[in-house]
């Protein structure tokens, strides 16, 4: 079955439009996260968002495009949250520590994040790939800058970016999603030490 081509809708430019779109996406986060993509309906999203169906269609041509926009929106929200909490960092290694701490808090407050992002693999693999590839590219550019001014050793920043994303994703799942916030300080300490120093013992070959 060929997918029906959907009309492209421009992102809103007015403050009110941006706010309404965000309100619909927050409702979509709740509905898609709780019900899954297939069982979720546009009418339920509009009810939670307290907007009319007509308003929904101003911003999104169909359910799949709303889902696609939601995954992108959650990526942007995650990045914004981390940026805010790492802005005062004096070095890349400090930013790694603060960023991980922020990510664990974000996951604990957005319990549906993983279900939505992982389900995107089954809705359209392009959404899933794009989500992680965008994070990867951003991460890599930060590592490049840090390696450039000697804050970290030189090395393959693309591979390192994917290593660091993997660490965040798995610690976010294990401790942000499945565990209680009391564990977070210990986890951040241990992970920051690993990221900074690796595992090699001083006198190991």
Of 10, 46, 13, 43, the closest CA to residue 27 belongs to: 46
How many binding residues for its own copies (CB under 8 A)? 54
Q: Which is nearer to its own copies, 14 or 90 (CB)?
A: 90
Residue 138 in the binding site for its own copies (CB under 8 A): no
- Which residue among 22, 36, 108, 124 contacts its own copies (CB under 8 A)? 36
Residue 169 in the binding site for its own copies (CB under 8 A): yes
What's the DSSP call for residue 174? I
- Which residue among 118, 126, 137, 185 contacts its own copies (CB under 8 A)? 118
Residue 195 in the binding site for its own copies (CB under 8 A): yes
Residue 187 in the binding site for its own copies (CB under 8 A): yes
Provide the CA 97 distance to its chain's centre, in angstroms.
17
Provide the CA 99 distance to its chain's centre, in angstroms.
12
Residue 115 in the binding site for its own copies (CB under 8 A): yes
Report yes or no: 72 and 164 within 8 Å, Cβ to Cβ.
no
First-to-final CA distance of the chain: 58
For residue 100, the minimal CB distance to its own copies (Å) is 10
Q: Which is nearer to its own copies, 24 or 33 (CB)?
A: 33
Report yes or no: 152 and 92 within 8 Å, Cβ to Cβ.
yes
Q: Could you tell me the CA-to-CA distances from 82 to 17, 28, 43, 110 in Å, in that order?
A: 25, 22, 32, 14
- Which residue among 50, 109, 144, 156 contacts its own copies (CB under 8 A)? 156
Residues whose CB falls within 8 Å of the CB of residue 111, separated by 6 or more in sequence, listed in order: 33, 177
Residue 197 in the binding site for its own copies (CB under 8 A): yes
Footprint of its own copies on this chain (CB under 8 A)? 36, 90-93, 96, 114-115, 118-119, 121-122, 129, 132, 136, 150-153, 155-156, 159-160, 162-163, 165-171, 173-175, 178, 186-187, 189-191, 193-205
């Amino acid at each position: 079955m060929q997918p029906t081509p959907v009309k492209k809708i421009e992102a809103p430019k007015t403050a009110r439009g941006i706010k309404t779109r965000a309100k619909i996406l927050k409702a979509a986060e709740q509905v898609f996260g709780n019900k899954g993509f297939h069982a979720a309906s546009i009418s339920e999203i509009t009810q939670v968002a307290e907007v009319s169906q007509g308003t929904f269609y101003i911003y999104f041509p169909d359910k799949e495009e709303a889902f696609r926009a939601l995954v992108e929106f959650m990526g942007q929200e995650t990045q914004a949250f981390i940026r805010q909490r790492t802005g005062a960092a004096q070095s890349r290694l400090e930013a790694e520590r603060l960023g991980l701490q922020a990510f664990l808090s974000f996951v604990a407050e957005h319990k549906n994040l993983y279900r939505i992002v992982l389900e995107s693999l089954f809705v359209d693999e392009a959404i899933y790939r794009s989500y992680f590839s965008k994070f990867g590219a951003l991460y890599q550019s930060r590592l490049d800058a840090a390696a450039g001014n000697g804050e970290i050793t030189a090395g393959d920043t693309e591979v390192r970016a994917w290593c660091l994303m993997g660490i965040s994703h798995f610690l976010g799942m294990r401790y942000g999603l499945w565990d209680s916030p009391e564990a977070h300080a210990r986890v951040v300490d241990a992970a920051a030490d690993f990221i900074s120093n690796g595992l090699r013992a001083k006198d190991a070959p």
